[in-house]
Amino acid sequence: MPAAKLTRAFCEAVKPQEGRQVAYADSDVRGLELRVSGDGRKTWSFRYRTRLGRQGRVTLGGYSSDFGVLDARAAARRAQVQVDDGGDPAQALRVAKIEASTEHLKTFADLADAYFTATEAGRYRPKRASSLGNERAVYRVHIKGLLGRLPLEVITRRVVKGALERMLDAGVTSQALRAQAVVRQMLAYAVAEERLPFNPVVDLPPVAPSRPRSRIYSDEELRAIWTGLQRPEALRIPDAIASQRRDGARVLVGPSMRLALSLVFLLLQRRNEVLGMSLPELDLKHGLWTIPAARMKSKRPHAVPLSPWAVRLIRQAIDLNRDRQTQYVFPGRFDDTRPMGGPAMNLALNAVLWAREIEDGTVHDIRRTGSTLMTSERIGIAPFIRSKVLGHNDAGGGAQVSATHYDANSYVGEKRRALERWQDLLAAIVAEGPL
């Protein structure tokens, strides 16, 4: 459409054309246009060509009584000056928007909030809820107090290293390594958001040596823990402490949690896998529990055979919550729509270990103990089948690609026999008698 000198009367009177956008060029200022969309929206834009010959267009704003013809011409002339100086108005506007969107990331605490929000929403390196929960806990307990109030511009390699060394000086080792990993990921997010030019700790060596945990429960410890789970009256405060109390000497662990811990012993699955057990996953008639891929660390479905012993404990757990409208076998105490959390199981086991006077134990040590005994001379299960029981991606000596993409076998029969032999040994250790 040929250019014409735009006036207020023309801009007010021009009508939209259904289904198309029409641009009306201004003859007074070259490149200025009034664009009218099919739904009647009117906006000012400016067309230009940079020194390098690139054609561009930038939106100046919407037409209104506060941004009329004279205002648009002034804005277009300012944009032309920017072009004459070698600039690109549209590109400058995009940069300004990016800077405005990240302007709120002023402190490390702001960065942490944005990182967790973006990760949880799946906009930045999506993670499992349990992994994200662990990162939140590490940040809250160990990082926030050291770095939270600092401006992002002062977060250097030296500052982060100093904070981690303070953790080491306080006797925190493994959590210092986790904190280092969380800080590194947060700063990588800041780089991705163009809030920092580079990640200052991307190649920072581990501040402490990583020592894989190797704790194995002895037969006596297994017997003591199992007794505490099956006979809550045995969970008593150690005599040295009980003598100083007037409110009784019992350690209280709820029946649902005791059943969940018992199933960790029997099935050797991870704590969150057991706690997240739901009715749709269970086939109690045929003794099979199928954990969906979304809940597995390996991202593959995992079939867990259930012995009569395990089925009996699961039915007991279901009966405990029969009056609650929930699909979970171990629902949260105050929220039926979610299962119990992993930290609650940690606290429960810590209470049991304290009452039974056992030191340095974790829930994962149960899984490691069963795994170790399963391949020992006491049971003699092949490592490949043991890995299948645990839900690991194990090539079993063959090509990893074959095991991952071309082996759809669930090995239910082999896993059932392995778990039965493990449970027979566990029964003998804890003196449960024939099953």
The ranges assigned to domains in the chain are 8-96, 108-192, 219-430
For residues 388-408, average pLDDT: 60
Q: How far apart are CA 387 and CA 395, in angstroms?
A: 9
Q: How far apart are CA 364 and CA 50, in angstroms?
A: 63
User: Which segment, 171-180, 188-197, 403-412, 419-428, is predicted with the most confidence on average?
Assistant: 419-428
Q: Residue 250 pairs with which residues in a beta bridge?
A: 236
pLDDT 10s digits, 142-185: 999 999 999 998 999 999 999 999 999 888 888 899 999 999 99
pLDDT 10s digits, 323-365: 888 999 999 988 888 999 888 999 999 999 988 989 889 999 9
Q: Which CATH number fits domain 219-430: 2.70.98.60, 1.25.40.10, 1.10.443.10, 3.20.20.70?
A: 1.10.443.10
pLDDT 10s digits, 246-266: 445 678 889 999 999 999 999
pLDDT 10s digits, 358-394: 988 999 999 999 999 999 999 999 999 999 999 987 6
CATH tag, 8-96: 3.30.160.390
Contact 289, 297 (CB under 8 A): no
Q: Is the dihedral of CA 167, 168, 171, 174 positive or negative?
A: positive
pLDDT 10s digits, 92-144: 887 766 655 556 678 999 999 999 999 998 888 888 787 888 899 999 999 99
Q: Residue 429 pairs with which residues in a beta bridge?
A: none
Q: What does the DSSP 8-state code read for residue 154?
A: G
For residues 25-32, average pLDDT: 93
**108-192 and 219-430, same CATH topology:** no
pTM above 0.85, yes or no: no
Q: Which residues of 228-267 are buried (b: 16+ CB within 10 A; e: fewer)?
A: bbeebebbbbeeeeeeeeeeeeebebeebbbbbbbbbbbb
CATH tag, 108-192: 1.10.150
